[in-house]
Amino acid sequence: DAKTTQPTSMDCAEGRAANLPCNHSTISGNEYVYWYRQIHSQGPQYIIHGLKNNETNEMASLIITEDRKSSTLILPHATLRDTAVYYCIATLGGGADGLTFGKGTHLIIQP
């Protein structure tokens, strides 16, 4: 898996869009960008993933730069329940040995 760099923590006001950045400058052409989040004492929850194009689902949007060296996860209307640690992972889609998780970004949604 390519190395990813994320800020340690971020704050966002409830109801605003939360934009979480991730740098993956050494990503290879066939590696996907995956995002997971983990609420305290729970298992990581899959959010979204992408390869080249921007992606959107019911939880979030993923914006990948044209050179694929960075990406941004967008939670359009953050709620208090979105407070969690968010992990950005660059990985081959189908690698047998699982995922490499760093320390992620601790997103705190402020009321």
Site residues for other proteins, 7-36, by CB under 8 A, read: 32, 34, 36
* DSSP state string for 30-64: TEEEEEEEE-TTS--EEEEEESSS-EE-SS-EEEE
Q: Which stretch binds other proteins (CB under 8 A): 16-24, 66-74, 75-83, 98-106?
A: 98-106
- The smaller minimum CB distance to other proteins, of residues 78 and 88, is found at 88
Residues 6+ apart with CB under 8 A from 69: 23, 24, 25, 27
In whole angstroms, what separates CA 12 from the centre of its chain?
Answer: 15
Site residues for other proteins, 45-74, by CB under 8 A, read: 45-46, 49, 51
- The smaller minimum CB distance to other proteins, of residues 76 and 93, is found at 93
DSSP character for 80?
G
User: What is the rounded radius of gyration, in angstroms, for the C-alpha atoms of the chain?
Assistant: 13
- The smaller minimum CB distance to other proteins, of residues 27 and 87, is found at 87
Q: Is 101 in the site for other proteins (CB under 8 A)?
A: yes
Residues at the interface with other proteins (CB under 8 A): 32, 34, 36, 41-46, 49, 51, 87, 93-94, 96-99, 101-104
